[in-house]
Structure 1
Amino acid sequence: MEELDIVIVGGGIAGLATSLALHRKGIKSVVLERSESVRSEGAAFGIQTNGWLALQQLGVADKLRLKSLPIHQIRDVLIEKGIKRRESVGPASYGEVRGVLRNDLVRALAHALPLGTLRLGCHILSVKLDETKSFPIVHVKNGEAIKAKVLIGCDGSNSVVSRFLGLNPTKDLGSRAIRGFTNYPDDHGFRQEFIRIKMDNVVSGRLPITHKLVFWFVVLRNCPQDSNFLKNQEDIARLALASVREFSEEWKEMVKNCDMDSLYVNRLRYRAPWDVLSGKFRRGTVTVAGDSMHLMGPFLGQGCSAALEDGVVLARCLWRKLNLGQDGIINVSSFSSRMQIEEAIDEYIRERRGRLVGLSTQTYLTGSLIAASSPVRKLLLVVMLMILFRDQIGHTRYDCGSL
């Protein structure tokens, strides 16, 4: 059986960010990714000030800025029965906001890691505890078993590690999201703003990445769970175009002229705020980060940035407590050493829980408001948001701190 110090399950944003943060503190880790290549589904993120502060700590912020436009404002539009009922414009963040391609972010994180850190094609089936030392053992689909001194689950919404911790399953939002990119060879000419339009049961948004590339999405509410009717990219494209048939010609052209290969569809899920508040995020020397810990809807655009914050905070907490030998190897020679690891994870969870409960709650209420049709329910949600989150973009002020 192979024995490793720190094993990270999942080579997405959270897994790579955590591994890079550990590397920058001189701590070795191995990332196990089930795919045969680094995941690259069509998506982009609006990374806000707090996310850029985390990227700065990871050492990749300046590289990513070269490939993205600054976003100056957010525009929300409500259209009912063909009539514009409401339009609001506000600042996107306290500070910096840019649209970043998921591919660019993943590559920047992965390329900054030492060779051999990322292992592809490692499909994790289960996690068990060693009966003698109580360290986790990861069982891989190919029959291998890996013992780790620290195990960090960054394996997304259907997380094997989360199930090992006994966390409640994530919940279905009852919506399906289609995401894609559209290239404009001669400059799209759009404002440098994030615009979101709600019309009936459809919410669609647009985020400029560069002067020639736009990321867009369509969220369909009350969409059937069965996705067998979406057999290929052409089917996804037809569904996206049909969903925006009542939008402006400019909007329909954007969806129609998309890069077909970039289209990506999935059902939206979330971890309930009350589960984030009460969830047990440590068992022995096992914990979680990113979507495995706090999967949330896209309504605040903080899922990616929160995952980056997780990586910085977890690496800092481990570095403070770990007894490191030469070459970043963890010395675990006694029960007290294992206790130090557990204390480090507990410190990480304490620091993150308050932040994540706030983000999850605001995201949940904002998503509920967008979906609400009853005037009474809308009023109730608005009042709750005003009481709990008077500063609607206050979440962008957060600083995860230095490594």
Structure 2
Amino acid sequence: MEGVEEIVIAGAGLAGLATALGLHRKGVRCVVLESSATLRASGYAFTTWTNAFRALDALGVGDKIREHHLLYERLVAFSASTGEAAAKVSLKMQGKSVPHEIRCVKRNFLLETLENELPEGTIRYSSKMVAIEIEEEGNVKLLHMADGSTIRANVLVGCDGVNSVVARWLGLPKPILSGRSATRGLAEYPDGHGFGPEMLQFIGQGFRSGVLPCSDTSVYWNFTWYPSPADGDAEESVAKMRRHVLARLTAAKIPAEALDVVERSEMSEVVSSPLRFRSPLALVRGSICRGGVCVAGDAFHPMTPELGQGGCAALEDGVVLARCLGEAFAVGGHGSAEAALEKYAQERRWRAVRLVTAAYVVGFVQQSSNPAIKFLREKFLSGLLARVMVDMADYDCGKL
């Protein structure tokens, strides 16, 4: 149909770019609409687990990511109360078909790598979608943009984040506030940081913190906690937030080298952000796709960060979605777009339910101040929780 884009993807985050690159590999053209003027790399870095590297390999960029990021050998979880290691888990163990592979990847590097593999002009920046309607003739989506223009599309993929316009159009309920907030930063060590190839977690005292080397010269950190009136105006500025984090970590038994990472780091312009998740029940009952429209990434399954699987699951979504749509749109393809999206939804729904549920439960146990849970966490549960993280990453979304 003249003047109609076959596939439009809203959002140039991990899910959007992964879907676009997967479609490109399948020989299918698409357009990506990004509301900002450039790629958005907020969050600095994210843990890229075995399942994410399987997805990146399917997209043909896995080795480019490996080349610049450290491979972890172990995960060590410390008690913030005692300063002692509560659990040590080897990450050299074998997965279902290949050894486990976990690295902390700089977000901007990954997004730029995905973008550079796409044909020029695929991404349209400063293109914010604000509303969707279905044209009376046929099943064409009319996308209303913030600048007053419109775009017509046969298929619309919503990768537009936790406040997704597409998810709202599908009728999915708003994500739920978890009651916790998170902040993060990245520290650079031009002469080397001295950390080993390991993920460090500090759990208890009402917070969860992680220190994760990205490369020989950069270290990412994160801190999640339950905000309270006693925190005052900590979230008003970067300086106040840094002081708040350092005060909480210093009051606990956190080693000096971990404190140094926070002290010297660059922090996000978004000083802290509330952690949201979509109810697993909403994912079971809700519409992930309808009438040639679907969601992926945080627009689909926002989750709390304890498993480190939000970005990884977004990459999985991209591969599965591109594979399903490729069957309908590639040269010699067969089937309808709506059937392809239904197949995608069927494959991804229960994976998302398991990840969201596990992340919430792990976070509750890790940060609970209940004396009984605290005792069980420090004596028995820390190792179990660490293994849950590894086991949830032992997943293969398949090839394109």
Q: Which amino acid aligns with 1:298?
A: P
Q: Which amino acid aligns with 2:50?
A: T
Aligned ranges for residues 61-140 of structure 1 at < 5 Å? 61-80=62-81, 83-84=82-83, 87-92=86-91, 94=95, 95-140=100-145
1:401 to 1:262, Cα distance in 2 relative to 1, 3 A: same
Aligned-partner Cα distance in 1 for 2:232–2:14: 26
Question: Residue deviations 1:43-68, cap 9 Å, x none?
Answer: 21111111101001111111111110
Given that residues 230 and 236 in structure 1 are in contact (C-alpha distance below 8 angstroms), is that contact kept between their aligned partners in structure 2? yes
Range that drifts further, 238-247 or 163-172: 238-247
Percent sequence identity over aligned pairs: 38
Given that residues 89 and 386 in structure 2 are in contact (C-alpha distance below 8 angstroms), is that contact kept between their aligned partners in structure 1? no
Consecutive unaligned residues in structure 1, runs of 5 or more: 331-336
1:230 to 1:79, Cα distance in 2 relative to 1, 3 A: closer
Aligned-partner Cα distance in 2 for 1:357–1:228: 35
- The residue number in structure 2 matching 1:306 is 313
Q: Which amino acid aligns with 2:396?
A: D
Question: Residue deviations 1:200-238, cap 9 Å, x none?
Answer: 122211000111110001112134699976444333333
Aligned ranges for residues 117-266 of structure 1 at < 5 Å? 117-223=122-228, 230-246=235-251, 247-260=254-267, 264-266=271-273
Given that residues 7 and 31 in structure 1 are in contact (C-alpha distance below 8 angstroms), is that contact kept between their aligned partners in structure 2? yes
Aligned length: 390
Verify: 1:368 aligned to 2:364, yes or no.
Answer: yes
- The residue number in structure 1 matching 2:391 is 394
Root-mean-square deviation (CA), in Å?
A: 3.0
1:184 to 1:200, Cα distance in 2 relative to 1, 3 A: same
Q: Which amino acid aligns with 1:398?
A: Y
Given that residues 170 and 289 in structure 2 are in contact (C-alpha distance below 8 angstroms), is that contact kept between their aligned partners in structure 1? yes
Verify: 1:341 aligned to 2:341, yes or no.
Answer: no
For normalisation by structure 2, the TM-score amounts to 0.89
Given that residues 42 and 262 in structure 1 are in contact (C-alpha distance below 8 angstroms), is that contact kept between their aligned partners in structure 2? no
Aligned-partner Cα distance in 2 for 1:225–1:26: 56
SS in 2 for 1:68: coil
For normalisation by structure 1, the TM-score amounts to 0.89
Aligned-partner Cα distance in 1 for 2:220–2:14: 18
Shift in Å, 1:391: 5.8
Aligned ranges for residues 276-287 of structure 1 at < 5 Å? 276-287=283-294
